[in-house]
Amino acid sequence: MISNLAFVHPEAKIGKDVEIGPFVFIDKNVEIGDGTRIDANATICEFTKMGRDCHVFPSAVIGAVPQDLKFRGEESWVIIGDRNVMRECCTIHRGTASKEKTVVGNDNLIMAYCHIAHDCILHDHIIMSNAVQLAGEVEVDDFAIIGGGSLIHQFSHIGGHVMIQGGTKVNKDVPPYVIAAHDPIAFCGINSVGLNRRGFSLERIHIIQDVYRQLYNGGLNVTQAVAQIEATMEQTPDRDMILGFIRNSPRGIIRG
């Protein structure tokens, strides 16, 4: 299952039923989980751990040192979970002393030419379309979809179940369940189609709509709107997730 034209460092830990194509380079201090496939010309650098049943397409580079001038060669990692797909020429860089690791969760699709910079944290079931560029220390929550060619500013936080239009420049935090687009980036409604596909009831969707209606259309600033939502709307997990995201957003959320 390992091409005789590949280089696999003798100290690398390779799981069962792993396929490694020609001209692949796998360095020391690398772990590859069972059932993973690594196609021709891919590079897996030192300090990378990859889970089960992943697929790395040709010319992807996983675990290269970060493009951060503060990096001094400290030990840091790329940690990748299970069932991730990393398409052609995507790049995922190691962490720095800030977090010491870049993390990609489970069941994510990272399309061709995407970049995930140092210390990013990606959760589960995320789709990054072609050529999305994540700067350092970005966090992306579950089920987010980021349209092709989008540019994500460092330290930004993208909430769960978000849909970001292709080509968008993200320089503020994007709260959960919304569609974001335009230049400058703005709230464009909730991602009702995505929520419906993921089994959200109409009642849950209407609650989410009510939260954002008060937040963006109530004529109040964000702080006032959050206080009003908390005082007037029944407590639900979705309401609390949105309010918690906003309160924990040092960059501030996108405009309405």
* Active site members: 118-119, 136
Q: What is the rounded CA–CA span in Å between residue 122 and residue 110?
A: 11
**DSSP-based three-state secondary structure for 242:** helix
Convert 135-174 to b/e letters by CB count within 10 Å (16 or more is b).
bbbbbbbbbbbbbbbbebbbebbbbbbbbbbeebebbbbb
Q: Is the dihedral of CA 238, 244, 248, 254 positive or negative?
A: positive
Q: What is the rounded CA–CA span in Å between residue 104 and residue 72?
A: 23
Residue with tokens 């196609």: 39
